[in-house]
Structure 1
């Protein structure tokens, strides 16, 4: 029995069944590479689901976390500390808009905070329902799940207490018809992540902004996956020159440490009063120090440009592959999906793993790539050279 087999068996005995049993037991990482417990090396092209912005073991992250945990590891929300203030100030600067920040521990918690803001805003202004997109994903807690338009993970936990109306993603006319003066908020991803890295038509997010402005509904941009340089911008909505009312963040913000943020811009930032919301661990000093290290390193090392450059190399390289299993590629920056002609993504993931690459079978016909922002052109070319063989093995 290999080390992987032994640890997978122990996992299967100890954990609930919600994850199944993951295929690889990882032991360590360095840069964009990880090694399993048997010593096999893989190029990490999923980055902990768009989380490991600086890769693995980055000196800036190690130093920031080590220093902070040795200084002050936790305060709760009964006290404040400088790291959380610095982070909130930094996020406001990157947004380039007046805003107020709530720090949480995850993406679903960030969206829960946004939902509570929307509910209170709606009650204050006599508005009763929300609008979200079909196939959208906003989290698995019951509030966030009520906004998630993915029936396979939603239906068994309903009915939900909130009135949420779903519209086809990318259809501006359907959105306009759904959003009236009675709508409190519209929740949208700039690109749908869990649906298969599906971008909307050109101008869709601008249309959403115009619709919300005309009706008085809040526009909530769920940037859990898309922000912090993933698409080559600090926030994906900035590429559309759109200013949302609320932005939610997590994943890449902490570079591997758990942190989320709900940012209210303008009036939305003033909705919460004392006692309206809270989190014991939200704004944890260690996670805030990690986030500051991530943001500082992305800026200092030009990783926004690297996301654009290496992302284009990957996108163009995948598009150039001629294989009957490969239909094309979609996405932006270092957030891509290789789209298949038939539902064989699980086989592609397994073949890639066998070849030494970690990718994600996101949908039956879509394989996600979300590597660390520090990935090099050389790393990308190694994968592209191997891709035809991976597809051939998956199609056998």
Structure 2
């Protein structure tokens, strides 16, 4: 079945669908770095299918350039990635670039900043004038153009309350008008085996003449922890980086089960930690100590006075958060690209924020996934992504319906 991935980001949704045998015809994404990530991932899949994965390994170990890597890939594979912002001005050109009329499924979700509760709380106009509120209308134009059997629309839970619920009501009304039945649920990635509490609205629409109902997803009881997820990663300090290196241990059952690291994968990349100043490192250590002793997170107003630099001691007090090493992580968001204060490593001896590879693992991206082009871009892409493991289980249920 042919799939278009809109607002594709780093490709978490399409990775899950590809694992279940769906054919990703196009990824449409406005961010240049994310598009390079998508092209690199398409290169990985092509070379793996051709039995030439050694070429991909040469690239991620910096033995050949990106241009040299792409030189091994057929042009039609790379052209699947369309680097374009979706608007009234660009949409017809995007249709031409897709160049494929037989589309079965459309997946993706418009950027969520305009719907997020944090975004609204920080904006004096509560995002009312943000044009991203209405990107869903571009999504609907793709539905009208390709008339897919089914579509999956993913977004943050804040979309349900944006503008007192009017936005989500309009989305549903307009989708129904073009001939689709709809249903949605708030799904948590942790119920799909992802080691992260990450709630998202997953809306599914299907053509009125198709016998379909919203899947019943069996919840997976997580028996693993973040410490086990990081089990084989070398211990590093703030500012240290292993761009290309070796694991400190063989993999474990968890890494194999959630498809993060195959037994034969032996190249560690992007295990890169940002450098923190001394004050932040003192705060990190203090927060981890309290977490270990009391299993609670420290409010900003509780910090020793010498470490407090912000005047606001009444709101946004959860500036520093320790990732729970003995459980699952709290939600990873794109803000991790700005600083790591919300993602403090649970090991007090490492005393730092998460690396790119650790963040990718929390999102269930496999270790052979390479994020372009720099650490900041990689963190942003990871924070915005749909976990591939969750996407795969959704894709499996969709496939099950159509096979039957």
TM-score of the superposed pair, with normalisation by structure 2: 0.29
TM-score (norm 1): 0.29
- Looking at secondary structure, tell me which structure has more strand per residue: 1
